[in-house]
Chains A and B, each alone.
Chain A
Amino acid sequence: MLTIPIETQILFAGILFFLGLIGLLVRRNMIFMLMSIEIMLNSAGLVFIIAGNHWKQPDGQVMFIFILTVAAVEVAIGLALILQVYHHYKTLDADAVNKLRDQNSK
């Protein structure tokens, strides 16, 4: 079994999480944003696995399963919405989808 300290493991999850975050902030294509979110959710699940392993409890894994489920649903709805956005706006650029805004901001 692993003899790696838990800090390192969580740090790994953290790196993945923040990579996802970077992707989310940088990419304007909504599909990429959705992918980045998946990375983040996945890394959050990773933390539960790590913690579950650490405490020797199955709960972490159970939580992961739920996260997985939710991630799947989110992707499904997200993609459906992205399709609609594409139909309406003819673009996937997140910045171009800004009809809703304060009228006195540019």
Chain B
Amino acid sequence: MEKSTFIALLPAIPLFSFLVLALFGNKLSRKATGFIGAGSIGIVALLTLIIATEFFHSLPQIKTYTVVVWEWINAGNLKVNISFSLDSLSLVFCFVITFVGFLIHLYSIAFMAKDEGIKRFFAYMNLFVASMLILVLADNILLLYLGWEGVGLCSYLLIGFWYKEPANGYAARKAFIITRIGDTAMIIGIFILFITFGTVNIHELMQLASAKWASGSSIAVITAALLLCGALGKSAQLPLQTWLPDAMAGPSPVSALIHAATMVTAGVYLIARTNMLFSLAPVVQFAIAIIGALTLLIAGFSALAQHDLKRILAYSTISQIGYMFLALGVGAWSAAIFHFMIHAFFKALLFLGAGVVILVLDEEHDIFKMGGLRKKMPVVFWTFLIGSASLSALPLITAGFYSKDQILWFAYSSESGSLWLWIAGIVGAFLTALYSFRMIFIVFFGESKTLPSFNAGKLMTVPLVILAVLSLIGGFVELPESFGNFHPFSKLIENVLPVVLIKDIGNLEILFQLLSAVIALTGVYLAYIIYFKKPSLSASFNHSHLNRFFEKGWGFDKLYDTLIVVPVVWLSEIDKNDFFDWMNIGLSKLALLLNSLFSITQNGKLRWYLMSFVIGIAFILTFMLYK
């Protein structure tokens, strides 16, 4: 068998197990369900490894594997295949999806053990993995769109997994609809691409675009902007970020997999994938950087004000993806991907950890009702600490430091970078450290307020530990020049994505690194002061309006409510019964009116009839003679 056909198996296996679970789910035991659900992902992870090995073996020569599975659409000049292609970019994503995914699946077996919907859960999860793999492996943009929507669907299904609570359903729909808004813009962008170039193959499209479109031409800008809209929706960036915090209504493994590690970074993938297009539209690319910067700040502040453990993580996710966008915006492609990978490790870890906390505290989400958990669940504490440290980019030991620093550096140093972007990044980094350790101190230190009802099993802690290790050492695949100058990751990525262009500003990287390390540490220390040493400092802030403003996500929800939701609902209410119906009612009224009118003449009186006779003949004769 050709090695490349393995690629098709990647999405096929989880899809198959999804089918099995969906069709025969009720005949399977809970154990078998978990086995199939997690096992299939395990196999895929293994397969990814095999493919990766193969890939690395032939590295210098072959950059892309492609496999055509079947002809999908053939209409007019639109010819689309179900076909996958694998390059290093996809490979990184596949790796994250399958490995992190596998760990999360493993974790889920324990996490969902008592939930009656476990079969549904695993079915959806598997479907998600399949869709996500399709997304990253698709060799044409329509197939990518298929995966794109597929993950959206799974996200919807899993957010609303506990369907009995109407709020969950609301959150799920919100997520779907908001991302759908972005997707619609994106599909229009796809239309433009197809209409202009007559193909939907991403590779060809990019070639043709760079050949035919002038840089900065309006069509390129429009197309790039439209695709960006899709990415913004999916990756929960400004102004479409509001769905993600609500999406935490789903089970924690879902948050970990979909709303932290993989799906939300699809936007990053899309932009990276179509990077040439964005290079042709520098305005849009710069807008990405700005959006990223703004988002990371806004989300950072919001995270600081949250009470709900998972919402903190959610805002943190938004913020971190903001970093990735910032990186994309300044053309630091591989930095973005690097941060994506590291982020996947530590954010999955954090979510899983949070999941354990919440689970053992009987669905307690409020961090202020937790506390002192350090002793009671040491494994969770340590892994959570590692995750938070990585998130805060504590220097040297954490992977997050390497990835984030790279972004910060490029935010300033790349050709389109600027000081302002760097300042935003560094403020964000400070905020990150602050809220991360706010979490740690409030949840794990201090006096305990709620007692855990049981201890988490091995199946849950092992993935935590693995992820914690990855969060620590993951960063060593890419070391800055000032510190080891080891770049296998960016070399890998640069097979596909362009190299970041650096302004000629001399070797200041070490300075920036030091600065950010200090900032991160300051953040941690400040958190220690405010939230542990002198909680009164934070308490006063907790009730301020500003805090509430931050907590409500800067009022975006409210704004959208008044601007969009209220008018739409109003519109649908005022004309519920379809005012066109009045046309019919009017006509039938008219007919009935005429009927009653004419009916008067049919009153049975002979002389009336005679009168109508005579009037009729009078009219006829007068008309005929004197018209």
A and B touch in the complex (CB under 8 A): yes
Which of A's residues lie within 8 Å of B, judged by CB?
21, 24-25, 28, 33, 94-95, 97-102, 104-106
Known: A21-B614, A25-B611, A25-B614. A94 touches B606 (CB 8 A): yes
Instruction: Report whether A105 and B599 are in contact in the complex, using a CB–CB cutoff of 8 Å.
Output: yes
Question: A19 to nearest B CB, angstroms?
Answer: 13
Contacts across chains A and B counted by CB atoms under 8 Å: 41
Chain B residues, CB < 8 A from A105: 599-604
Known: A104-B596, A104-B599, A105-B599. A25 touches B610 (CB 8 A): yes
Alpha-carbon separation in the docked complex, A37 to B110 (Å): 106
B605 at the interface (CB under 8 A from A): yes
Of A28, A101, A105, most B-chain CB atoms within 10 Å: A105
Instruction: Report whether B599 and A102 are in contact in the complex, using a CB–CB cutoff of 8 Å.
Output: yes
In order of increasing CB-CB distance, the 8 nearest A-B pairs are A101-B604, A98-B604, A102-B602, A94-B606, A105-B599, A105-B603, A102-B599, A95-B605
**Contact for B607 among A94, A99, A101, A104, CB less than 8 A:** A94
Of B596, B601, B606, B610, most A-chain CB atoms within 10 Å: B606
Which of B's residues lie within 8 Å of A, judged by CB?
595-596, 599-607, 610-611, 614
Instruction: Report whether B603 and A25 are in contact in the complex, using a CB–CB cutoff of 8 Å.
Output: no
Known: A25-B610, A25-B614. A94 touches B605 (CB 8 A): yes
Main DSSP-derived SS at the B contact region: helix
Query: Would you mind naming 13 contact pairs between A and B with Cβ atoms under 8 Å apart?
Result: A25-B607, A25-B614, A94-B606, A95-B606, A101-B602, A101-B603, A102-B602, A102-B603, A105-B599, A105-B600, A105-B601, A105-B602, A106-B603
Instruction: Report whether A99 and B604 are in contact in the complex, using a CB–CB cutoff of 8 Å.
Output: yes
Main DSSP-derived SS at the A contact region: loop
For the complex with contacts A102-B603, A105-B601, 7 further pairs of A-B residues with Cβ separation under 8 Å are A25-B607, A94-B607, A98-B603, A101-B605, A102-B602, A102-B604, A105-B599
Chain A residues, CB < 8 A from B603: 98, 101-102, 105-106
Alpha-carbon separation in the docked complex, A99 to B606 (Å): 11
Alpha-carbon separation in the docked complex, A100 to B604 (Å): 5
Alpha-carbon separation in the docked complex, A94 to B604 (Å): 10
Question: B602 to nearest A CB, angstroms?
Answer: 4
Alpha-carbon separation in the docked complex, A28 to B600 (Å): 19
Known: A21-B614, A25-B614. A95 touches B607 (CB 8 A): yes
Chain B residues, CB < 8 A from A21: 614
The chain B residue sitting closest to A102, CB to CB, is B602
Alpha-carbon separation in the docked complex, A102 to B597 (Å): 12
The chain A residue sitting closest to B608, CB to CB, is A95
Alpha-carbon separation in the docked complex, A25 to B601 (Å): 16
Chain B residues, CB < 8 A from A25: 607, 610-611, 614
Chain B residues, CB < 8 A from A97: 604, 606
Instruction: Report whether B610 and A24 are in contact in the complex, using a CB–CB cutoff of 8 Å.
Output: yes
Alpha-carbon separation in the docked complex, A12 to B76 (Å): 86
Question: A20 to nearest B CB, angstroms?
Answer: 12
The chain B residue sitting closest to A101, CB to CB, is B604
